[in-house]
Structure 1
């Protein structure tokens, strides 16, 4: 019996999952893929043209050749495409829904999508470490490469047929975002389409092969923002409700779409100026933050501190507005920390080493 991904590919239009222009054909995987992911030559090849956080600024220390990053990008893109094929096959069919919490959904599609992705990643990168939303940690904890996989970001939207969800895959190298692909689903029931975002350290950000950049808006009053709210209705949740109200009053509006990876890709694409949220997980952020940085934007924590994907708050912006946003967002975020709410790093796999 053919795999789910194979069956889905027969109904998924080829044009709906276009590769970034810096990717070669998936068929062109090197025969010895592991040997080409070695540390080499020029460190400057991986330096992002726009960097703000410590993670981005230290990317010059990621001593991997451009060729090796591009080879890794082939696998990342292929894995995201395979996951998207599984999701595409399921979008207009009945959902089998379970609950992680009172309102936190998981569907059989989340699980099947992650399994399809893992099958490919394990075959191409067997010595890498993996952190999946559904499957948890697997692989070699001594590896400097960590795959952060969200097989279906925006599960609640998917379950309702609301057009804002995605397959999101980001790969870290010693904790730094290195390669990413996000396949966004839009359209709606019986007219679903996708667009594919890709980014690599120092290689830029792309949407369906077209290089993208953040917007140039430098005033809050002329900007559109996006935020999100978690499932715990506690004080950080209430704090963000107040931020939502404040920015709604002083900007062109604040959207709540329900898929963090999509929200950050929209900032990278330049159709929104900023996005923030408390208590996201690494798989929610690993791909999106790299998209924003490589599109020319800025990433920090909501209290203004240097960001890693293991932190519990994130603010991404087009860069022009970042300091203005922090003047409003940072004080209540710092107050939460002073009150004792835990904003330490979390979900870092045991034994995984960070180089900063």
Structure 2
């Protein structure tokens, strides 16, 4: 793991994550607590984040870190921000249901520059991993092989993915309607429950698009870079320029993006007209960006 330039890293997953932290736990009983009514956290979430933090702080002590469990740690004046989701898809993990992952994305002045997502695939008694990596300008890879988004250019021939957060508000209800509408006109809409995995599947070309409201930086920082480096397109759900500090995302294979926005965009604008704000949910104070 080393810095290769002002905007890039080389990240070797084995250098920052001992995957045995999660792998050792997948077939064992879970110690589950709650951050909200249905928002789970396990001891594995905390142990996974601790393992990542130990390596990042040792190698990049002057960098800023934003972890789902631990919050902001480190040098706020840094150009670099590590966005760490130690266990994306905790509810799936707690039930032994694929899909879930460990997701790490590095921002340089607010822009994704390096990413790794370790997806846990299979199921009870047959777990394995699939490792996605990407660097800005360097392409996206799965288990060392370069990957590309699909070439499907019709919604009717597409498999789509979305997600639903813990806030059952108007945005949640609007996305239920989008789910219904796209289910009617596509080959299907899936709800897997792990944003980083969903975006990696778009990058891998096995689904054509993914969208969701109410995400946070650690949900998106790695996945959006995977999609971009695999040749896809990333935007806000109103079609605007994407930032990991906003709270909506649409990623696609690119050729379908405008067609999807024909319905997703107006639905999002209607929510905004009601005063629902999806912009700048959180940015660490004094963290420098050129956004």
TM-score, normalisation: structure 2: 0.98
Identify which of 103, 124, 128 aligns with 1:193: 128
| CA gap 1:158/1:126 in 2 versus in 1, 3 angstroms | same
Q: Distance in 2 between matches of 1:225 and 1:197?
A: 20
Picking from 210, 235, 238, the partner of 1:300 is: 235
Q: CA RMSD in A?
A: 1.2
Contact 1:204 1:295 in 2 (8 A): yes
Q: How does 1:244-255 map to 2 (within 5 A)?
A: 244-255=179-190
From 174, 177, 180, the equivalent of 1:239 is 174
1:310 aligns with 2:245: yes
- Tell me by how many angstroms 1:75 deviates: 5.4
Q: Which has the larger radius of gyration?
A: 1
Determine whether 1:326 maps to 2:261.
yes
Question: Displacement, 1:38?
Answer: 5.6
Q: Deviations over 1:165-184 (max 9, x none)?
A: 00000000000000000000
Structure with greater strand share of residues: 2
**CA distance in 1 between partners of 2:82 and 2:12 (Å):** 11
Q: 2:27 aligns with which of 83, 89, 92?
A: 92
What residue in structure 2 maps to residue 119 of structure 1? 54
Find 1:164's aligned residue among 91, 99, 107.
99
Question: Which TM-score applies when normalising by structure 1?
Answer: 0.80
Cα shift readout 1:102-134 (whole Å, capped 9, x = no counterpart): 000000000000000000000010000000000
Unaligned runs of 5+ in 2: none
Tell me, which stretches of 5 or more residues in structure 1 are unaligned? 1-28, 40-63
Closer/same/farther in 2, CA of residues 147 and 75 from structure 1, 3 Å limit: farther
Please list, as runs of the form range in 1=range in 2, the aligned pairs for 1:112-261 lying within 5 A after superposition.
112-261=47-196
Contact 1:298 1:322 in 2 (8 A): yes
Q: Deviations over 1:128-148 (max 9, x none)?
A: 000000000000000000000
How many angstroms apart in 1 are the aligned matches of 2:10 and 2:71? Answer: 22
Contact 2:242–2:249 (CA under 8 A) maintained in structure 1: yes
Q: Distance in 2 between matches of 1:142 and 1:91?
A: 38
Find the counterpart in structure 2 of residue 15 from structure 1: none
Work out the CA distance in 2 between the residues paired with 1:327 and 1:277. 16
Given that residues 75 and 121 in structure 1 are in contact (C-alpha distance below 8 angstroms), is that contact kept between their aligned partners in structure 2? no
- Deviation of residue 74 (structure 1)? 2.9
Separation in 1, partners of 2:182, 2:73: 41
1:53 equivalent in structure 2 = none
Matched positions, count? 291
